[in-house]
């Protein structure tokens, strides 16, 4: 039985995979179903859902299509979460590898820097960074990565500390390989699996942080985001609650799918280790 089959046989994995598949399909289908700018006016303002089947989820205060916003908002969430997760894991893995393999003052300096970043709540760090640099998609990705790299760094360091004294590492030293080459060619690939296990947590965190920043008006003003849609609907919450409820449901289901997929992956890995 392959790893994918084992993953899909877990209830969490199957549920998470279905939710994530729907999320990805929505994101990829956005330019095909809604080729127009989702920020453009599509109809009368505050049209309620299911009153006009050309605008099935209605319109917001400016007459923009809510369903188009959901589809294009999924693209923004997908781009931000994957880019932020990749950047934070890459930075964390490099820092953790250098700290664990180098030891001594290198380990001490890098871990103290990691401690300094961990003392500041991640969202506050991202909020401060975006406030200072300015809102844009790249800045939001950098801000989230800046607040999330410490976890991968600590796990990578712990794995490298347990790997660096193994026989094949000693053989590489005897063969005359450069320490950095040993660290990144021999040690890091074997230390990566536990680090990659954090990917689902970081992706879910990135989706929530991006939505929160957009809710506060610090997202990319040129892109539709679910957080921005929720904030837009806040001013007419009593008369048109669907403007906040619909993107809120999309946000909850996406984050739930990421977490369930992560739980399924952890359970699959545990079963695989027990069978080994």
Six-digit token string for 85 = 């997760």
How far is Cα of residue 275 from the mean position of the Cα atoms in its chain? 31
| Per-residue model confidence as pLDDT tens digits over 100-116 | 998 889 999 999 999 99
Residues 6+ apart with CB under 8 A from 184: 97
Q: What is the DSSP letter of 145?
A: H
pLDDT (0 to 100) of residue 245: 94
Do 236 and 250 form a contact (C-beta atoms < 8 A)? no
Stretch 50-71: mean pLDDT: 92
pLDDT (0 to 100) of residue 49: 92
Handedness of CA 161, 166, 168, 171 (dihedral sign): positive
| 273 — pLDDT class (breaks 50, 70, 90) | low
Six-digit token string for 26 = 């929505």
The span from the CA of 275 to the CA of 63, in Å, is: 57
The span from the CA of 186 to the CA of 176, in Å, is: 13
Tell me how crowded residue 179 is: count the other CB atoms within 10 A of its CB: 11
| Per-residue model confidence as pLDDT tens digits over 216-233 | 988 888 889 999 999 989
- Angle, CA 183 vertex, CA 181 and CA 189 arms, to 5°: 105
The span from the CA of 243 to the CA of 232, in Å, is: 7
| 241 — pLDDT class (breaks 50, 70, 90) | very high
All structural domains of the chain, each given as residue ranges with its CATH number in brackets, are 3-47+57-275 (1.10.3720.10)
Tell me how crowded residue 149 is: count the other CB atoms within 10 A of its CB: 24
């Amino acid at each position: 039985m392959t790893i994918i089959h084992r993953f899909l046989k877990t209830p969490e994995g199957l549920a998470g995979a279905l939710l994530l598949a729907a999320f990805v399909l929505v994101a990829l289908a956005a330019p095909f179903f809604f080729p127009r700018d989702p920020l453009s006016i599509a109809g009368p303002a505050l049209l309620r859902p299911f009153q006009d089947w050309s605008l099935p989820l209605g319109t917001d205060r400016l007459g923009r299509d809510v369903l188009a916003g959901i589809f294009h908002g999924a693209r923004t969430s997908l781009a931000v979460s994957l880019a932020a997760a990749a950047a934070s894991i890459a930075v964390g893995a490099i820092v953790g590898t250098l700290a664990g393999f180098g030891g001594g003052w290198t380990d001490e300096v890098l871990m103290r820097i990691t401690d300094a970043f961990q003392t500041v709540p991640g969202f506050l760090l991202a909020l401060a960074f975006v406030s200072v640099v300015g809102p844009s998609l790249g800045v939001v990705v950098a801000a989230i990565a800046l607040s999330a790299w410490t976890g991968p760094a600590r796990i990578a360091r712990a794995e490298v500390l347990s790997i660096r004294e193994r026989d094949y590492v000693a053989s590489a030293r005897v063969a005359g390989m450069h320490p950095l080459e040993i660290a990144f060619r021999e040690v890091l690939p074997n230390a990566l699996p536990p680090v990659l296990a954090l990917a689902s947590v970081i992706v879910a965190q990135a989706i929530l942080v991006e939505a929160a920043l957009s809710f506060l008006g610090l997202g990319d003003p040129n892109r539709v985001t679910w957080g921005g849609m929720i904030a837009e609907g806040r001013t007419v919450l009593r008369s048109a609650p669907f403007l906040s409820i619909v993107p809120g449901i999309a946000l909850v289901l996406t984050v739930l799918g990421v977490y369930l997929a992560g739980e399924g992956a952890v359970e699959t890995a545990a079963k695989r280790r027990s069978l080994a």
